[in-house]
Structure 1
Amino acid sequence: MNDSNWLERLSPILENYQIKPYFVEDFGSVLKVYSNKGTFALKKITPTTGTDFIRHVHLLYQKGYNRIVPIYPTMDGRYAVLHNNELYYLMPWMSNELKEDRVHRNQQLFRELARLHTLSAKEIDVSKEERTEHYEKTIQQLEKHQEFLEGFIEECENKTYMSPFELLYCLYYNEISMALRFSKERFEDWYEETKDSEKARMVIIHGKLSSEHFLYDDRGYGHFINFENARYGSPIHDMLPYLSRSLETMPKRNNDAIGLVQHYFKYFPFKQDEKLLFYSYLAYPVPMIQCVEGYYRRQDTKNELKFVRQLQRRYWHLKNSEYVVTSMFEMDKQQQLAKEGAQQQ
């Protein structure tokens, strides 16, 4: 779309802010608008997404958290404009030109995430029946996955000639099962820790945590953007997707990931039950299981090369997750032993 078309299309929206656009740059889901009142970011979302996230943003501001890119109100006080069945909201444009190394930027991101979680934390009521129901359903799912893995390896081993995928799966089977067993054990530990509790800690989660959604202003302060998925939930729901994506590499000892988690814990320590649940979910080899199930259920001709490559990548992810989880779990055990030893003395 050329510039005159953009100006014609956006002028009715920006009139609500008494802004006259001069020039527009398209950055995908965000438009950079040069205008008579400065430079702005105009974001488009679907009406079904709704504007509940604005309520969460305002709640955080009320609690003293201001590291969120502000959303400007229209002249009549609305925080979004409906135009041609699309919702638009307006923010200042962030320069995001801070020249820092990736590790330092990610540490700032996790420190601000911890502050966000700290300021919005609250306890909610969870009945023992709800907790038990969640536990039983999850255990049932874990056992169902283990049964599938065992059934598939028996089927593979009974063949005279295995396919390349089946052979690779047999090589990986023990490690997949170990990860699943570790996940189940931590989940059982979590239930033992919490089965008599009727409270759970909730925070406002960003919902789409990414270094791309943490921008810097001209003064070097970082701010969150893309809050459309914000909601109250467990802090784990911000941590897990970010970590899982960061572990999608070739096998390596990802001490940077461990460092980020520890950095976050300095400002927002997880309770023991939250840690157990975090370890359980992070160790759960869901990507591997989904890959194997996809191969097993494929009825037509299978693309062996495609499935083998996919299984290989998922295995790398499993090993990277294993290193992070076991390292942090062992650190916790050592700290607990040291604490018990100090108390005995």
Structure 2
Amino acid sequence: MTTERETLNYGPVLFHYDLFPEKLERHGRVMKVITKRGTFALKEAEMSEDERNWFTHVIQRLSEIGFHQVVPLYPTKFGDYTVQLGSKTYYLMPWFASDDRNEKGKEEILLDQIGRIHALTLKEQDFSNEVVEHSYQFLMNRWENRQFEMERFTEEAEQKTYMSPFELTYLSHFHQIMRMTEEAKRRLKDWYDTCQREKRYRSVLCHGKVSRNHLIFNPTGEGHLLNFEKAVLDTPVRDLAVYFRRAVHQREWSKEHGKQLLDIYEKHVPLLNEERGLFISYLSYPEPVFNAVDLYYHKRNQLSQIELVHRLEKRIRAMKNIRDFCELIMQTPPPPLEMGNAPTKIHINDEDHI
């Protein structure tokens, strides 16, 4: 529930839609707006002008190219699709009530829809040695700097007479973590060498924040994607890595189910060999574990050792799940394309963006 003051604060935004709320309910960064004209979802975000223009372009373009499973945006009475108020950006969508009946197959629907978006926007880029070189050097330098930070943390901990429970836990897994780091770097180098040899690179429209929380169902049970605020043109591996890094934390995760989900995606866009290697590289790099060390550095006086150790162990288990998953997908070829599901390459000029 919201207070009267909050209701007044949203008045200037809802004015743009001629909406007069009878009731407002906060759901994270989404406000459920109940009016006589119906129930709506008002999303609050932080976007620059260029980001707002790109965001609305993405939503409209997806509809134009035949992907209609996106939660639509309502225009204001002035014809705009976003409202800027101070540093905040707002946009209005229909409100879709949650339905637990659809939760069981949610992951499959999500990967299928991401695969369809990627297939519809797949484009063979003109090979640019400078772009590939920059991407490789940037990521490799960042990974090596992070690795150096973790090695320094290890050396400092080993010099102590009494180590904390967190430090002891980290050191007991240190060699395994470094092996995954080296594996990720090796895979990244393989990707770079293959790109140089094959002279090819593919891009798609990436959702940017692929998560089961960003798939909701309309009253008829049809899944719709939302939250394209971070959409970007990039390798298809970007979306896949974001999704699977989160998925391995789920209690019901298994490498076999993960392989099934990847198969669903690859019915639309089979990964090239170098893309598969890049995917494994992204997954293998133990950034989540390194982030747990960062948390220890900055929050060790605010969080208990038990909580810090628990978070670290959880992320180490997730990395083991990733390792097993990567070993499985390296052993099996991608599924064949189904008839009627061949990737559609849309060759467009720079003004089209997508």
TM beyond 0.5: yes
Letter in 2 for 1:33: V
Identity of aligned residues (%): 32
Structure 1 position 65, deviation (Å): 0.9
Letter in 1 for 2:218: D
- Closer, same or farther: CA 273–30 of 1 in aligned 2, 3 Å: same
The DSSP-based 3-state class of the residue aligned with 1:194 is helix
More helix by share: 1
Aligned: 1:184 with 2:176: no
- Distance in 1 (alpha carbons) for counterparts of 2:176 and 2:262: 24
The match for 1:29 is 29
Structure 1 position 66, deviation (Å): 0.8
Deviates more, 1:304-313 or 1:185-194: 304-313
The match for 1:38 is 38
Letter in 1 for 2:26: D
TM-score, length basis structure 1: 0.81
- Distance in 1 (alpha carbons) for counterparts of 2:318 and 2:278: 19
Structure 1 position 18, deviation (Å): 3.6
- Distance in 2 (alpha carbons) for counterparts of 1:279 and 1:285: 12
- Distance in 2 (alpha carbons) for counterparts of 1:47 and 1:151: 37
Aligned: 1:331 with 2:338: no
Structure 1 position 12, deviation (Å): 4.1
Contact kept, 8 Å, 2:208 with 2:228, in 1: the verdict is: yes
How many residue pairs end up in the alignment? 333
Q: Pairwise mapping of residues 96-111 of structure 1 onto structure 2 (< 5 A)?
A: 96-97=98-99, 99-102=101-104, 104-111=105-112
Letter in 2 for 1:181: E
- Distance in 2 (alpha carbons) for counterparts of 1:279 and 1:258: 13
Contact kept, 8 Å, 1:283 with 1:321, in 2: the verdict is: yes
Q: Pairwise mapping of residues 174-213 of structure 1 onto structure 2 (< 5 A)?
A: 174-213=175-214
Letter in 2 for 1:86: K
Letter in 2 for 1:95: A
The match for 2:90 is 88
The DSSP-based 3-state class of the residue aligned with 1:21 is coil
Unaligned runs of 5+ in 1: 336-345
- Closer, same or farther: CA 23–152 of 1 in aligned 2, 3 Å: closer
Deviations 1:153-194 (A, max 9, x none): 677677777665554444323322321232122222212211
RMSD over aligned Cα atoms: 3.5
The match for 1:246 is 247
Contact kept, 8 Å, 1:250 with 1:316, in 2: the verdict is: no
- Distance in 1 (alpha carbons) for counterparts of 2:170 and 2:45: 42
Letter in 2 for 1:277: L
Contact kept, 8 Å, 2:102 with 2:221, in 1: the verdict is: no
The DSSP-based 3-state class of the residue aligned with 1:269 is coil
The match for 2:347 is none
- Closer, same or farther: CA 217–131 of 1 in aligned 2, 3 Å: same
- Closer, same or farther: CA 4–169 of 1 in aligned 2, 3 Å: closer
- Distance in 2 (alpha carbons) for counterparts of 1:215 and 1:225: 8
The match for 1:340 is none
Q: Pairwise mapping of residues 197-276 of structure 1 onto structure 2 (< 5 A)?
A: 197-248=198-249, 253-276=254-277
- Distance in 2 (alpha carbons) for counterparts of 1:244 and 1:29: 23
- Distance in 1 (alpha carbons) for counterparts of 2:188 and 2:170: 25
1:65 to 64, 67, 70: 67
- Distance in 2 (alpha carbons) for counterparts of 1:62 and 1:287: 38
Deviations 1:52-87 (A, max 9, x none): 211111111111111111111123311122345533
- Distance in 2 (alpha carbons) for counterparts of 1:8 and 1:297: 38
- Closer, same or farther: CA 134–206 of 1 in aligned 2, 3 Å: closer
Deviates more, 1:266-275 or 1:324-333: 324-333
Deviations 1:83-134 (A, max 9, x none): 45533222111123251343x1110111011111111222333421332343
Contact kept, 8 Å, 1:98 with 1:220, in 2: the verdict is: no
- Closer, same or farther: CA 223–185 of 1 in aligned 2, 3 Å: same
Contact kept, 8 Å, 1:53 with 1:231, in 2: the verdict is: no
The match for 1:17 is 17
Deviations 1:265-300 (A, max 9, x none): 122221221111000110112233444577689999
- Closer, same or farther: CA 307–39 of 1 in aligned 2, 3 Å: closer
